[in-house]
Structure 1
Amino acid sequence: MKKSNDESIKKIVLAYSGGLDTSVMIPWLKENYNNAEIIAVSGDVGQEDELEGLEEKAKKTGASKCYIVDLKETFVKDYIFPCLKAGAKYEDVYLLGTSFARPALGKAIVDIAVKEGADAICHGCTGKGNDQVRFELAIKAFAPEMKVIAPWRNWELKSREDEIEYAKRHNIPLKISKETNYSKDKNIWHLSHEGLDLENPENEPEYDKILELGVTPQKAPDKECYISIGFEKGIPVSINKKKMEPVDLILELNKIGGENGIGIVDMVENRLVGMKSRGIYETPGGTILYKAHELIESITLDKDTMHYKQLIAVRFGELVYNGQWFTPLREALSAFADSASQNVNGEVKLKLYKGNIIPAGITSPTSLYSEQIASFGEDDSFNHNDSAGFISLFGLPIKIRAIQLKNKDIK
């Protein structure tokens, strides 16, 4: 790419992770945008050690500033928990770990870009991925006139191997090599792995080499681990009857789940841009929470509400995956989930064993389950004779059609 002719771009805010893509972008932006000022922004959504030395690295490679914004509590309360309450997943198994982190990060980056009076926002997403959409829709929602720079769409670097060579030429320190160059995304909720041998679905993942949040079920203890999770209005609030703050609760469940081989997913998903991609996801704590939430809803939601929630969960998951967090429909679906969760209270006991989550008991002060009515024993509150009239009316359309078929040869 030739140097940009846009003389108006004098200050660029870069969504900065310190990974391969954004590490090479600081010097690249300065080379191609008339030595513009580069301000790096990283949102702390639970990457932990990935944030170490980030500010120093950004400045050494040419950034004038580096913001590290603590988003962990906001991320959990305003993005993760709404998805949990809605039961949102993508294609049945993906718990949206990267998907709902992007709008949280995008909003934080826009806030700083506006504060700094930036002329443009730059991100390191590829033209093949979903994240470019997620970031840019967040930018459109809060700074619709802001210019967006996406180097992967037009720079001369065509692969991650090219980026590694560029980094070497510019003395940019990297923690990866061509041999360990998995594409990863880590936050408090999950860790994803893509690339290298994983790109061929025929290859079995080398789990012992790639797992970081836990162990395989085979290496988990040969002993059941019992755990109870308390809910208030659909939100998890305690572990083993101990009240916990949202961030601490997820971290503790990650530890427990990881130790027991919980939450490892190998999937080929349909990306928003149309292609299929294969990824390995580690979501130990989130997998436990989703299972516990489904169980507490099973005794606190009426049938129609539960079944309708299952319908909207699919749409909610698609909206989040597609980057449409800041939309009226997502907000409306969240409002429905909030309303439906008013009586989702109680405690779920689970048994964890070698990657399995086994229900071990549910209690709720707002339970709709009646042991007396459901019992096969003697029950004065249920008249078995009532079922005859119910079946007669419920089956009336079937009966009428059968008679008509017999009399008129209807197909």
Structure 2
Amino acid sequence: MSIQYRIRSFSDLEYISNNSGCILTLFSGGVDSSYVLMELAKHKVCQIIALTVDLGDGVNRDDLKRIASHFGARSVVIDGRNIFAQTAVLPALRCNAQYMAMYPISSSLSRPIICHIAVKQARTFECTSIVHTANQSQNSLRRLNGALNDLRFNGFYGSPYEYSVLTRQEKIDALRDSGLSAFQARGISGDANLWCREFESGFLENPEDFRVPDELFTWTARSEIAAAQNPISIKFLEGTPVAINDLELPLIDLIAQLNDCVGRYGIGRYCGLEHLDGEEKVLEVREAPAAYLLMNAYRHLEMATLDSELLREKLLLEQVWVREAIEGRWFSGLRSAIDQFISYQAATVTGTVKYILREGAADVCSICADKPRYLTDRDGWEKQVARLRGARSLRELYNPTSVYGSSSSRYGL
């Protein structure tokens, strides 16, 4: 899409509100998205659809409806958990999708799914614009814009916060003046879905001096129940996790249960730097206990079932897949091609991995593959190999023609 169709400031927002019949905004119910509704409501020219996509972190529909209706907007909530789990989380699991092998990627997975749903809803409501709220210091800016561009949305799209900068307190004060007083200043910026909860900014601003309070975490808040060690097993069928301790579950329920039962041991906390578009680095803190255990279990089963050379090539392609996702190229042909490679080899990854959970760690105690390449009796294998190779050596010694052909052909006579 031509750059003139991009929304980058509140002046752009004013222009589209006066020249659009219907505008769709991505609406979380937070300060940024509520402030955008307030700005759009000032013009009262067009219809406003406030779209919320539920990706598994819980949605308060009453709050969303209350805020949206306050500004004359229509609240629309779409359950995107299944499509997110099947089309984004599952490929990421199989690809061991971790940024620089440090922590699981998250918003890189969720933003394309949100955009896919947003474009579909925009067409349903005949919206000519899609507005989001990412800013210059958030990688979501290029991921959302990149996805909307690749999805060929035929209208205006973008974020007014790209060029128009306001402090959180300025937005809170304006919303209070409009009649909404529930918003409060907070120390961080956060994003969450069924796969990962991530935090940045505020008291995490300076990588040289920061502290992560325990109350920031939800899944990995330690529980008294976790004082005792606990066994747990994860079963995979053709590359898909299907059961916990032999209890078969749908993927979104399986992830939710692992976040709870693994997280209570304090397992699955991450911290690391991430690059912005101009190569500046920002600090992020995450919790993803289900992702930790599932990716670890999947890697063990890959090692148990796949050829070593295939695995070496897969390791190289995994980071290419991650790069395409984090750079906002989710719908690229390159990522799709790697997906096909990953899906092909996933068909053989079937089996169960068992762990003993203890505070801060998950210890592997069993790797059982349906079609294993590993040895279970090394001594027996040694004897069998010795007999086979010894017999072959004797045949070669007393029947050299079996190796070299006849003596005449050997010397070219």
1:20–1:174 contact (8 Å) kept in structure 2? no
Counterpart of 1:196 in structure 2: which amino acid? G
Listed one character per residue, the Cα deviations across residues 69-98 of structure 1 (whole Å, up to 9, x for unaligned) are 011111101110011112221111221122
Where does 1:130-145 land on structure 2 (aligned, <5 Å)? Answer: 130-145=139-154
Listed one character per residue, the Cα deviations across residues 112-151 of structure 1 (whole Å, up to 9, x for unaligned) are 1111111111001112211111112221122343211411
Measure how far apart 1:377 and its partner are: 7.3
Secondary structure (helix, strand or coil) at the match of 1:202 reads: coil
Listed one character per residue, the Cα deviations across residues 351-377 of structure 1 (whole Å, up to 9, x for unaligned) are 2222212111110111111334x4497
Aligned with residue 347 of structure 2, among 329, 342, 351: 342
Q: Which has the larger displacement, 48-57 or 329-338?
A: 48-57
2:64 is aligned to 54
Pick closer, same or farther for the CA change 1:382–1:151 going to 2, 3 Å.
farther
1:88–1:314 contact (8 Å) kept in structure 2? yes
- Structure-2 separation of matches of 1:303 and 1:361: 20
2:37 is aligned to 26
Where does 1:162-181 land on structure 2 (aligned, <5 Å)? Answer: 162-175=170-183, 177-178=184-185, 180-181=186-187
Counterpart of 1:241 in structure 2: which amino acid? D
Secondary structure (helix, strand or coil) at the match of 1:41 reads: strand
- Structure-2 separation of matches of 1:257 and 1:338: 27
2:93 is aligned to 84
Aligned with residue 46 of structure 2, among 36, 43, 52: 36
Listed one character per residue, the Cα deviations across residues 185-230 of structure 1 (whole Å, up to 9, x for unaligned) are 111111111121111113342332311222259x783322211000
Counterpart of 1:315 in structure 2: which amino acid? V
2:375–2:381 contact (8 Å) kept in structure 1? no
1:395 is aligned to none
- Structure-2 separation of matches of 1:101 and 1:149: 17
Measure how far apart 1:379 and its partner are: 1.8
- Structure-2 separation of matches of 1:208 and 1:240: 29
- Structure-1 separation of matches of 2:349 and 2:253: 21
Secondary structure (helix, strand or coil) at the match of 1:380 reads: helix
Where does 1:268-347 land on structure 2 (aligned, <5 Å)? Answer: 268-347=273-352
Secondary structure (helix, strand or coil) at the match of 2:137 reads: coil
Listed one character per residue, the Cα deviations across residues 327-352 of structure 1 (whole Å, up to 9, x for unaligned) are 11111111000111111000000122
- Structure-2 separation of matches of 1:383 and 1:16: 70
2:121 is aligned to 112
Secondary structure (helix, strand or coil) at the match of 1:237 reads: strand
Listed one character per residue, the Cα deviations across residues 277-335 of structure 1 (whole Å, up to 9, x for unaligned) are 11110101111111111111110111011111111111111111122111111111110
1:4–1:34 contact (8 Å) kept in structure 2? no
Aligned with residue 238 of structure 1, among 230, 236, 243: 243
Listed one character per residue, the Cα deviations across residues 251-273 of structure 1 (whole Å, up to 9, x for unaligned) are 10010111111111111222344
1:391 is aligned to none
Pick closer, same or farther for the CA change 1:378–1:4 going to 2, 3 Å.
closer
Counterpart of 2:53 in structure 1: which amino acid? G
- Structure-2 separation of matches of 1:173 and 1:232: 50
Is 1:160 equivalent to 2:174 in the alignment? no
Tell which structure's C-alpha radius of gyration is larger.
Answer: 2
- Structure-1 separation of matches of 2:213 and 2:388: 55
Pick closer, same or farther for the CA change 1:192–1:46 going to 2, 3 Å.
same
Q: Which has the larger displacement, 5-14 or 193-202?
A: 5-14
Q: Which has the larger displacement, 6-15 or 251-260?
A: 6-15
Pick closer, same or farther for the CA change 1:60–1:106 going to 2, 3 Å.
same
Counterpart of 1:60 in structure 2: which amino acid? H
Is 1:256 equivalent to 2:238 in the alignment? no
Counterpart of 1:79 in structure 2: which amino acid? A
- Normalised by the size of structure 1, how large is the TM-score? 0.86
Pick closer, same or farther for the CA change 1:284–1:81 going to 2, 3 Å.
same
- Structure-1 separation of matches of 2:227 and 2:388: 47
Counterpart of 2:95 in structure 1: which amino acid? A
1:43–1:71 contact (8 Å) kept in structure 2? yes
Measure how far apart 1:56 and its partner are: 2.5
Secondary structure (helix, strand or coil) at the match of 1:317 reads: helix
CA RMSD in angstroms, aligned pairs only = 2.3
1:197 is aligned to 203
- Structure-2 separation of matches of 1:206 and 1:314: 28
2:24–2:122 contact (8 Å) kept in structure 1? yes
1:30–1:37 contact (8 Å) kept in structure 2? no
Aligned with residue 187 of structure 1, among 190, 193, 201: 193
Measure how far apart 1:28 and its partner are: 0.8
1:14 is aligned to 25
What is the count of residue pairs matched by the alignment?
A: 380
After the TM superposition, which parts of structure 1 deviate over 3 Å for at least 4 consecutive aligned residues? 1-7, 49-52, 374-378, 382-386
1:396 is aligned to none
- Structure-2 separation of matches of 1:232 and 1:181: 42
Secondary structure (helix, strand or coil) at the match of 2:384 reads: coil
- Structure-2 separation of matches of 1:184 and 1:198: 11
Counterpart of 2:55 in structure 1: which amino acid? V
Secondary structure (helix, strand or coil) at the match of 1:69 reads: strand
Pick closer, same or farther for the CA change 1:69–1:315 going to 2, 3 Å.
same
Secondary structure (helix, strand or coil) at the match of 2:98 reads: coil
Counterpart of 1:282 in structure 2: which amino acid? E
- Structure-2 separation of matches of 1:50 and 1:98: 20
- Structure-2 separation of matches of 1:108 and 1:94: 26
Secondary structure (helix, strand or coil) at the match of 2:226 reads: coil
Secondary structure (helix, strand or coil) at the match of 1:152 reads: helix
1:350–1:360 contact (8 Å) kept in structure 2? yes
